[in-house]
A and B are shown apart, each in its own frame.
Chain A
Amino acid sequence: MIELRDVCKYYQVGDDRVRALDHANLHIYPHEFVSIIGPSGSGKSTLMNIIGCLDTADAGIYLLDKTPIDAYSERELAKVRNRKIGFVFQNFNLIQKLSAEENVELPLIYQHVRRSERQRRVKEALMQVGLEKRAKHLPTELSGGQQQRVAIARALVTRPSLILADEPTGNLDSKTSREIMNMLHELHEQGNTIVLITHDDGIAHEAPRRIHILDGKVTEE
């Protein structure tokens, strides 16, 4: 499903050149549950952005479904992000002036789902993350953990085959983390591909396959 061949990403800050990804090689197969572990600043989010088609590599090849990413048109990429990938961002990335349910509804609007169907699925997704009572709240009226759960609901609502979660439990207490992890396991069992980023070894070990990243270098456990 996902194949990275010698992917590199550099950031030039002044005279310094940061190697956020350094010849990363990675192969993720359909229906896998992979966790990516690494210290802060090791390049986890960078890797995720490239996999999620938000960013492009400076060197190397990224194959999504056996097709090089360069071969996708702008419109096709938007479609991939919309339907195929569910992204849970490290910093939530909710639209501040939209309520929780509107944030969750947004990807469905871009899919041109009918209104009644949208409402049903939004309700369902919010229920899954236990936020049905906060549907009308704006992100600023929610706690960090609640915002995180809205972000998760938004990723799940389109039922994507690939879920990319960047520290989805980073802001949650152990009980809610547990629920989120159970949800991810459930999704995995339903056949979704899951890539989970974390710095928590315990959580990482719940995944059948673990990948380590350090200074932009990817190593398999």
Chain B
Amino acid sequence: MQAFIMALRSIGANKMRSALTMLGIIIGVMALVVLVSLVNGATDSVTNAVSDLGSSMVTVNIMDNKGKPVTLEDLSLWKKENPSLGKIAAYASDQQVARLDENYGSATVYGTTPDFDEVQGLKIARGRFISVPDVQNHSFVCVINEAMAKDLIGYTDCIGHEVLIGGSYYTVIGVLEAEEDSLTALFTAGQMVCYIPYTSLIRLSGVISSEITTFYVGETEGFTLEMSENTISDILLSRFQEDEDAFRTSSQNILEEAMGQITSVLSVLLGGIAAISLIVGGIGIMNIMMVTVTERTREIGIRKAIGASRGTILFQFLMEAVVLCMLGCALGIFFSWGILRLATSIVSSTGLVFKMNPGVVVTSVIFCFLIGVIFGLSPANKAAKMKPIDALHYGG
């Protein structure tokens, strides 16, 4: 305790120098805490966005159908025969003009089948999604997003309304919830989107045929996504003469995993850079402590002459280095907190929140302590080793 007070006093006696010395540690800690927290914040947000894209699903792309195209009938057959393919939905999209009276605009039109909303995690605010009869009857029905409802019709309570899509009238059977808090919503904000039966899209669009090139398999209760993915892979392999290049499956989870890997590598990398700057700060501390020891040689001599032991002197200077480091660390963490608050408020419109990562705070505290000890040891030892008479006669 006494040593702690002494250390504080001697740091306080040389405020300017102490502040400059601490700057190295402050910047190092700030780099560490801010970078890692930023990466974590961004990662959380992107991961959320990725998992919002669909609650775990397998995307299947068919590149070469070898004369055996996959049709809607195939999909429903597979679904019936394989319990692990409980959710399976065809997918195609086109750009069409949507119109109602004098309101019109370009809309993205998705042709799909009933399971699609669950696979993609779409939330229906009003009405219902496309049903099996809709697909069988090539019905002129559509599920529209909020932007489309507002732009064309003017309000969202519009079930039963008819809108003109690509020249035919479609009855609105469902309206999606407005998405606000995901990154996808950010990029697609205000765009008109509608979903119609796959069969209806074939009729509407010239480029889409009954040959399905993309479909999704959703996670089915009681099965892992991997099991579903294996099932569909096996089916397609036997269909396409064991040609692995004829199709491609990719699951959302793999994407998330890869993302996780990338960001953890990023964290380590940035953390490493920050750690290096902390070590540089530590060398600054060592440098200043060396100067301090030389400057205070006489004081050390006096202290020894009146009974300070080697250990006492060692502890005193070590304490000074550690206190210096820990003060720098505390200030660094405090400033980081401020910066993260600032960053959060700057990007508040995107809903990104940069929280201080408790792990990195603990890490930086431990790291600073170790730096104080490691880089303080050699100057403190230099002080402790002095012979009292030499120190007393030091002409400084």
Contact = CB atoms under 8 A, between A and B. Distances in A.
A2 to B, nearest CB: 17
B308 A87 contact: no
A86 to B, nearest CB: 9
A79 B299 CA distance: 18
A111 interface: yes
Contacts of B305: 52, 54, 81, 87, 89, 93
Nearest to B310: A74
Contacts of B2: 109
B20 interface: no
Given A54-B389, A55-B389, A95 B302 contact: yes
Interface string B284-311: 0000000000000011011111111111
A36 interface: no
A158 B308 CA distance: 13
A87 B389 contact: no
Interface in A74-99: 74-75, 78-79, 81-83, 87, 89, 93-97
Contact of B304 (A78, A94, A154): A78
Which of B299, B305, B307 has most chain A Cβ within 10 Å? B307
B390 to A, nearest CB: 9
A75 B309 contact: yes
Contacts of B159: none
20 contacts: A49-B389, A54-B304, A54-B305, A54-B389, A55-B389, A74-B310, A75-B309, A78-B308, A78-B309, A81-B388, A82-B308, A89-B392, A93-B305, A93-B392, A95-B299, A95-B302, A96-B299, A106-B306, A110-B303, A110-B307
Contact of B302 (A49, A79, A93): A93
Nearest to A112: B2
A94 B309 contact: no
B312 interface: yes
Contacts of A82: 306-308
Contacts of B389: 49, 54-55
B307 A78 contact: yes
A210 to B, nearest CB: 26
A159 to B, nearest CB: 13
B306 A107 contact: yes
Interface residues of B, number: 21
B16 interface: no
Which of B308, B309, B311 has most chain A Cβ within 10 Å? B309
Interface string B2-38: 1000000010010000000000000000000000000
A78 B310 CA distance: 8
Contacts of A81: 304-307, 388
A139 to B, nearest CB: 11
Nearest to A94: B302
Tell me the dominant secondary structure on chain B's binding face.
helix
Contacts of A97: 10, 13
Given A49-B389, A94-B302, A74 B309 contact: yes
Contacts of B387: 55
Given A54-B388, A93-B392, A95-B299, A75 B310 contact: yes
Given A93-B302, A95-B299, A97-B13, A107 B307 contact: yes
A54 B307 contact: no
A107 B392 CA distance: 16
Contacts of B308: 78, 82, 110
Interface in A40-93: 49, 52, 54-55, 74-75, 78-79, 81-83, 87, 89, 93
B307 A83 contact: yes
Contacts of A94: 302
Given A82-B307, A97-B13, A106-B303, 5 more contacts: A75-B311, A78-B304, A79-B307, A81-B305, A93-B301
A78 B295 CA distance: 22
A109 B6 CA distance: 11
Contacts of B311: 75
A110 B306 contact: yes
Contacts of B310: 74-75, 78
Interface string B139-177: 000000000000000000000000000000000000000
Contacts of B13: 97
Contacts of B312: 78, 110
Contacts of B299: 95-96
A104 to B, nearest CB: 10
Nearest to A87: B305
A179 B150 CA distance: 102
A168 to B, nearest CB: 16
Which 3 pairs show the lowest CB-CB distances between chains A and B?
A82-B307, A78-B309, A55-B389
Contacts of B302: 93-95
B319 to A, nearest CB: 14
A103 to B, nearest CB: 9
A87 B306 CA distance: 7
Nearest to A106: B306
Contacts of A107: 306-307
Nearest to A158: B307
A54 B301 CA distance: 9
A148 B299 CA distance: 17
A165 to B, nearest CB: 14
Contacts of A154: 306
Contacts of A75: 309-311
A81 to B, nearest CB: 5
